[in-house]
Structure 1
Amino acid sequence: MKTIFLYFTISFAAATVQQLYAQDLAQVKAVLKKQVLEKAAWAMQQRPETVTAHRASRSAGGIHDFYSEGDYWWPNPANVDSPYIQKDGQTNPDNFVAHRHAMIRFSRIAGALASAYRISPQQKYVKQLLVHCKAWFADTATLMNPNLLYAQAIKGRATGRGIGIIDAIQLMEVVQGLSVMERDAAIDPEVLTATKKWFAAFLQWLTTHPYGRDEMNAANNHGTCWVMQVAVFAKFTGNRELMQFCSNRYKTVLLPNQMAPDGSFPKELARTKPYGYSLFNLDAMTTICQVLSTKSDDLWNYQTPDGRSIKKGIAFLYPFIADKNKWPYKQDVMYWNNWPVAQPALVFGAAFFKKKDWFDTWKKLDHAPETEEVIRNLPVRNPLIWMGR
């Protein structure tokens, strides 16, 4: 009974905050409706494809284990059999990323179906998403193990790394999509229960395994993305303790340690892709505010004693999103021409702070990017499922 009470307490508090977005949600629907229904028509035709569909020859894990290889690691030209060497910011197209692609595909399917459900709540969308969730989280023949022990491996150096946990941010829109649909009569309680059990086990691994602890303590966007995905998964499973932990970490670690007084992210600006990583980190922090804010714990309006806040972060980057030619720092070594797109920081921030210029800029940007690097670093691609409830 206590668990049920806590679940409804969390849901009620979140719903109270989300009601602020009703008018903004209608505007977002108007912008995205045609595109959403087209994507949903595609998603309705897709069959499940999990990690078991692709076997990685270099993986130290089994068929049910997610495996990926570090993007910026390359063969050593001096000796092709020696350990890989790093070229920061330069993606090696020959590394194994089939499992990541399958997860991104799952995320896109879930986001499309749930977005269409927000526009037209038809049970066919619910049933189709459940088919994929059953394959990924319940069916013993095709499910993925609830850990990332073998993510972002490096040939000759590591069978997996904590840094690979960032790959799982693609599961956030799966969870959020289910959250949008879970009260529908078409929901299969067995699949929903199995899915929540899977994410509870994944949260246990994320918060206790050394890889998870390392990623949590990362000083850049990796630490932000750990908080972001743990917050989303904790909310889905009703883990109030972890939700509060993530809220506190945003206020006491992420903002003061990653954001400069002017709203910039120095650790991202120091990278070889400063523009893309700054956008990525801002989107992640904004999503944390969107997911965790309540009337009694308002992350949107929170600021550190010296004035660092999410509003300042959006305000810093906004001029360079509206006109990238004004960017005063070095250009990204790759994918410079592919950013910005319809960054979720703009639409979420515009809704909360009532900034019409932010919304108008978001409206004009690309809402359906196809560049792999952009998709990988844009885990929130369907704002409809994150706004209003």
Structure 2
Amino acid sequence: MKHKFLLIIPMMLALSGFNQSNDMEDRIAATLRPYILKEAAWAMEQQPATITAQVSDRSTGGVHDFYSEGDYWWPNPADPNGAYIQKDGVTNPDNFVAHRQAMIRFSRVIGALASAYKITHDKKYVLQAVKHLRAWFIDSATLMNPNLQYAQAIKGVATGRGIGIIDTIHLMEVVQGIIAMQPSGLIDKRTTSAIKSWFENYLYWLVNSKYGKDEMNARNNHGTCWVMQVACFARFTGNEALTTFCRKRFKNDLLPNQMAADGSFPLELKRTKPYGYSIFNLDAMATICKILSTRQDNLWLYSTADGKSIKKGIEFLYPFIKDKSSWSFNKDVMYWDNWPVAQPSLVFGAEAYGNAAWLNTWVKLDHDPEVPEIIRNLPARHPLVW
């Protein structure tokens, strides 16, 4: 009876932020279990492959430097050998994205192995994960340099851009996976220390470089994803100053400047893919709340003076996630048919507020998307490691 009672008092759940119903947690784990075990079986067969496995002759960086090219930039028909031109929302399939794909694969491997360890306690999953962690962060022949100086470049325009920082949202579940696997005792102190040192260096670059500052000040999902990443990596490395900064950034910048009074995101609605971008930004904000909420400072309960809150954001988009046909704005120019999937904002929000309706919708949605662009825009694909 205790669990049923908790389910009907969502505000009491929200006020603590930490005493979610065991019934809800069990249902989440049961829903994910078959997907986790399937993906973990795949991950057990994967050998480490970092960004050093593929290089682009268009990159001005070295073999250890992450490189990608802007999605919406195309050759100019009037000057085929000149600078690229933009077609917002329309992805150029010929651009170099191999490093992004490698990072997403890495994130999937660690997320699956860590999730499988959590539900089975089988240490074989951790031993496999350590191979990949060492390849990306420690082994001198294959590691990635801790910066994104050459991400989302544009031929003839830029060798890299601040908006490329969004490509490393996929390192968050690597970090969460490490935390989830620590109880195994198989990630030794030297390995953990080396990985934390990598992220400390990356954090320094995110905060102090021109590209990092540009991304922090972006007034759309890019600014959100900067806060989300910095919050995740700062918590992992024990950087309390940066976690405090990110809490303030969420309260004083993201909510006031990105959300409208009705809970929508006007800057995302203006894009050529308003549905997907709105969902993505909401997922990122909900993930920030998941990362940074404490008993003393619960972001799930925070509201601006004029009533903007993460709860209002979920309430605005939820009807359109439950029934996409009710969407009253423009349709996305690409991937309209592929959204929504099992969005993290719903499962995180359901836990925070004890909202059974949101959880029911999340359970029914796709937990195993196959379209690369959808996978790319899911900041949290393995809820159990969070």
Query: Normalising by the residue count of structure 2, what TM-score does the alignment of the two structures yield?
Result: 0.95
CA 1:141–1:369 in structure 2 vs 1: closer, same or farther (change >3 Å)? same
**How is 1:64-143 mapped onto 2 (pairs within 5 angstroms)?**
64-143=64-143
Any conservation in 1 of the 2:69–2:95 contact (CA below 8 Å)? Answer: yes
Structure 2 match to 1:210: 210
Distance 1:51 1:372 in 2: 18
Task: Show the counterpart of 1:327.
Answer: 327
Cα deviation, residue 22, structure 1: 4.3
Unaligned residue ranges in structure 1 (runs of 5+):
1-15
8 Å Cα contact 1:25-1:384 kept in structure 2: no
Q: Check whether the contact 1:21–1:352 (CA below 8 A) recurs between aligned residues.
A: no
Tell me whether 375-384 or 17-26 shows the greater mean CA deviation. Answer: 17-26
Which residue of structure 2 aligns with residue 349 of structure 1?
349
Give 1:268's aligned amino acid: E
The SS at the match of 1:157 is coil
Correspondence for 2:36:
36
In 2: Cα distance, 1:186 partner to 1:258 partner: 42
Q: Distance in 2 between matches of 1:123 and 1:193?
A: 20
Contact 1:274 1:332 in 2 (8 A): yes
The question of 1:234 aligning with 2:234 is answered: yes
SS of corresponding position for 2:301: coil
Q: Secondary structure at the match of 1:68?
A: strand
CA distance in 1, matches of 2:95, 2:188: 38
Structure 1 equivalent of residue 312 of structure 2? 312
Q: Is the CA contact (8 Å cut-off) linking 1:350 and 1:356 kept in structure 2? A: yes
CA distance, structure 2, for counterparts of residue 198 and residue 24 of structure 1? 36
Cα shift at 1:192: 1.3
Instruction: State the one-letter code of the partner of 1:85.
Output: I
Q: What secondary structure does 1:152 align onto?
A: strand
Q: 2:224·2:281 contact (CA, 8 Å) conserved in 1?
A: yes
Shift in Å at residue 19 of structure 1?
4.7
Deviations 1:272-328 (A, max 9, x none): 000000000000000000010001001000000010000000000000000000000
Look up the equivalent residue of 1:189 and give its one-letter code.
K
- SS at 1:204 equivalent: helix
Runs of 5+ in structure 2 lacking a partner?
A: 1-15
Q: Does 1:154 align with 2:158?
A: no
Q: Aligned AA for 1:53?
A: A
Q: Distance in 2 between matches of 1:261 and 1:19?
A: 30
Residues 213-224 of structure 1 aligned to structure 2 (within 5 Å)? 213-224=213-224
CA distance in 1, matches of 2:25, 2:139: 35
Contact 1:172 1:233 in 2 (8 A): yes
Q: 8 Å contact 2:83–2:155 — kept in the other structure?
A: yes
Distance (Å, rounded) in 1 between the aligned partners of 2:263 and 2:292: 21
Letter in 2 for 1:322: K
- Between the two proteins, the alignment pairs up a number of residues equal to 371
Distance (whole Å) between structure 1 residues aligned to residue 67 and residue 105 of structure 2: 16
What is the DSSP-based 3-state SS (H/G/I as helix, E as strand, rest coil) of the residue aligned with 1:81?
A: coil
Distance 1:177 1:60 in 2: 32
- Cα RMSD (Å) of the superposition? 1.0
Identical-pair percentage: 64
Q: Is residue 17–residue 352 contact of structure 2 (8 Å, CA) maintained in 1?
A: no
Deviation at 1:185, TM superposition (A): 1.6
Task: Tell me if structure 2 keeps the 8 A contact 1:130–1:188.
Answer: no
Q: TM-score, normalised by structure 1?
A: 0.94
2: CA distance, partners of 1:45 / 1:136 = 17
User: What is the rounded CA distance, in whole Å, between the counterparts of 2:366 and 2:173 in structure 1?
Assistant: 19
Residues 1-80 of structure 1 correspond to what in structure 2 (within 5 A)?
A: 17-20=17-20, 22-80=22-80
- Give SS of 1:140's match: coil
- In structure 2, the residue corresponding to 1:182 is in which secondary structure? helix
Task: Check the 8 A contact 1:275/1:332 in 2, yes or no.
Answer: yes
3-state SS of paired residue (1:183): helix
